[in-house]
Amino acid sequence: MPPLSARKNNTPTGVLQSVATITCLRDRDLLAHSLVSTLSELIHSSRVSMYRIVSNDHGGEAVLVAEACSHPGNASASPEIGIPIASRADFSTVWHTEKEYVSPIVKNDYLSVYPIIGQHGTVGLLETISDAHSEMERHLISAFLKVYSNYQTLLDESETDTLTGLLNRRTFDNNIEKIIAEHALPDDESGSPAGQRPARRVLGAELPHWLAIIDIDHFKRINDEFGHLYGDEVLILLSRNMQRIFRQRDKLFRFGGEEFIVVLDRTSEENAKAALDRFRVAIEQYDFPQIGKVTISIGFVRLDKPDVPSAIIGRADQALYYAKHHGRNRVCFYEDLVVAGKLSGEHYSDDLQLF
């Protein structure tokens, strides 16, 4: 028999209240956790897991986004590791058919996998393990997933740049605050409610994030010589190369005009430098229609401690400024420039920042 809380919430009023709670959220991680938590209360399940599908050369992976369990022992064994879609017949079937998959498992439990449909097909999966696979529960889950998908589409439209499809400046402001807050907490402090596991990668949790500002060299000259339509095409093609070259978990933003920002997920300094230089070389070698060759300059900083966003961006901008005035088509690391005496750096006195 379902617990009292589930029976109480599984009423028309309770369902509407749950929908209202979900759709008041603007943060995608909180939205996913809220939906999973809500469904775990509404249906009689031992585990509800949500996965995001990440495309790759091998067909795709399912990466755990949120999970709610009736008992800690029911949690996924390795939440930080992506599951190859091809390795699970149920995931592969749902991904390709966009239809629910149900299979009985041990002790009269049922494993169900539902597709999460986006604008371009299946973008995620919802997995439930339940001992009461009723028609009502199926319809309830499907309805919630439709609400979730529609709401995600609205978030996509409000958070992305119309021209390039990258995340926009407002979304950057929200994301950078979250990343700074993440570094303000001990690595083992999750703050997650009981029964929920944060869907964060535990491997490399001690490593920093990195923020890079990318600027197209001589972009005004491109607009003046070829016109703004070709200038826009350069922005679009550069954005597509960003999406192709950087990792799925790196965040890509159009900051304004011909400036872009990449926030690299936790990695080493060596890997950050290599990733940014790999992108610089890719753009240098790319043949832009009508325009020909285009180069970029990049300035980047380490992001591993509490700070104000304006100071972080200011340091990256100083490194970018140095790159632009010392040959362009190069990647400059702020801390390296300070150590080498090429930038003076910043000096702090208590909470007062002096330049």
User: 278-334, pLDDT tens digit by residue?
Assistant: 999 999 999 999 999 999 999 999 998 888 999 999 999 999 999 999 999 999 999
- Domain made up of 4-156: CATH architecture: 2-Layer Sandwich (3.30)
- Whether 44 contacts 4, CB under 8 Å: no
Q: For position 316, what pLDDT does the model report?
A: 96
Q: Cite the residue boundaries of each domain of the chain with CATH code 3.30.450.40.
A: 4-156
CA 29 → CA 26, 54, 85, 178, distances in Å?
A: 9, 16, 22, 11
Q: What are 105-125's pLDDT values in tens digits?
A: 877 788 999 999 987 788 899
- Whether 222 contacts 294, CB under 8 Å: yes
Q: Which residue has the higher pLDDT, 75 or 158?
A: 158
Phi and psi for 130 in degrees, rounded to 5? -145, 155
Q: For position 330, what pLDDT does the model report?
A: 97
Question: Of 6-15, 22-31, 108-117, 202-211, which gets the smallest average pLDDT?
Answer: 6-15
Please identify every residue annotated as catalytic. Answer: 258
What does pTM read for this prediction?
Answer: 0.69
Phi and psi for 316 in degrees, rounded to 5? -65, -35
Q: Cite the residue boundaries of each domain of the chain with CATH code 3.30.70.270.
A: 169-354
Structure tokens at 352: 């007062």
Give 52's strand partners.
63, 124
Q: What are 303-315's pLDDT values in tens digits?
A: 988 889 999 999 9
- Whether 308 contacts 183, CB under 8 Å: no
- Whether 49 contacts 174, CB under 8 Å: no
The overall average pLDDT reported for the chain is 84
Q: What is the dihedral of CA 134, 140, 146, 150, to 10 degrees?
A: -160
Q: For position 155, what pLDDT does the model report?
A: 83
Q: For position 346, what pLDDT does the model report?
A: 61
- Domain made up of 169-354: CATH architecture: 2-Layer Sandwich (3.30)
Say whether 190 sits in a helix, a strand or coil.
coil
Instruction: Give one word for 269, left, alpha or beta, with left for phi > 0 and alpha for psi -120 to 50.
Output: alpha
Q: What is the mean pLDDT of residues 173-185?
A: 83
The pLDDT of residue 198 is above 80: no
Q: For position 311, what pLDDT does the model report?
A: 93
